[in-house]
Amino acid sequence: MDIFTLAAIEPGSLENATMGMGSWWRTIGGLAVVFGLLFLCLKLVTRYGKKSGAAQARVLAVWHLGPKREIQVLRLGEEVSYVYRHDTAMVLLRQETWDEYRSQHGETSSVLTPGPTLPASLARWLHPLQSRLPGSQA
């Protein structure tokens, strides 16, 4: 619409365009329907969105190497990952299958293991890193 069309509209005709009582009820009813459908969809997604064979994810062990530095052993499905974590980054050190980990270490609980007790093979591999940490024995 241009300015000439707006000037041609009579001011009295705009008063008839205000919202009546029925339109408020329609607005509230429409919002109730939309939120009801949203709630229903969320319920259906939570009920039927679950997979029966969902992969297991848990922390098997944590070895603290110093302030804000640690190695975490994570199980993600059928893989076990050794992750070095420090201030702002995470580095994947090694991955192995769940069966290999279980044959080496047995079935471990999901409770975090205390203290810096690394397996011998991993300790030899990380020795250069550990020797740089403050308070290291080596």
Domain boundaries, given as residue ranges, for the chain: 57-132
Tell me how far apart the alpha carbons of residues 98 and 81 are, in angstroms, rounded to a whole number.
9
* pLDDT given for residue 109 in this prediction: 45
Tell me how far apart the alpha carbons of residues 83 and 128 are, in angstroms, rounded to a whole number.
16
Residues 78-106 pLDDT 10s: 899 999 998 888 999 999 998 888 888 77
User: What pairing do the DSSP bridges indicate for beta strands 69-76 and 57-66?
Assistant: antiparallel
pLDDT of residue 108 exceeding 60:
no
Task: Tell me the pLDDT of the chain averaged across its residues.
Answer: 75
pTM over 0.85: no
* pLDDT given for residue 32 in this prediction: 95
CA Rg, the chain, in Å? 31
Residues 16-26 pLDDT 10s: 555 555 678 88
- Bridge partners (DSSP) listed for residue 58: 75
User: What pairing do the DSSP bridges indicate for beta strands 90-97 and 79-85?
Assistant: antiparallel
